[in-house]
Amino acid sequence: DETLPKSHQREVQRQFRARRAGHLLDLERRVSVLERENLILRHWAGVHPANRYLLGRGPTGCDTTKP
């Protein structure tokens, strides 16, 4: 918002960056827990790593290519 003083704009941006950093840390922790759980479940189910479902490329793994 350009009507806010520069110091307030900086504070709003600082708070946003802090929230974003916290959110990213939370996501990284959740991914780590889920990866461990997935590994345990695959071992329990007897799924060999070579036989697992392959994800697509890209950051989300959703853009699979058709054979």
The answer to whether residue 54 sits within a structural domain is no
What gap in Å lies between CA 50 and CA 41, rounded to an integer?
Answer: 15
Q: Find how far residue 44's CA is from the centre of its chain.
A: 25
**End-to-end CA distance of the chain, in Å?**
49
On the question of pLDDT at 61 being above 70, the answer is: no
On the question of pLDDT at 6 being above 70, the answer is: yes
What gap in Å lies between CA 15 and CA 4, rounded to an integer?
Answer: 15
Contact criterion met (CB below 8 Å) for 63 and 57: yes
Encode pLDDT of 24-45 as tens digits. Answer: 999 999 999 999 998 899 899 8
Predicted model pTM: 0.59
The answer to whether residue 58 sits within a structural domain is no
The answer to whether residue 57 sits within a structural domain is no
Question: What band does 50 get if pLDDT is binned at 50, 70 and 90?
Answer: confident
The answer to whether residue 37 sits within a structural domain is yes
On the question of pLDDT at 56 being above 80, the answer is: no
DSSP 3-state assignment of 5?
Answer: coil
The answer to whether residue 29 sits within a structural domain is yes
When divided into structural domains, the chain yields a total of 1
Containing structural domain, residue 32: 6-48
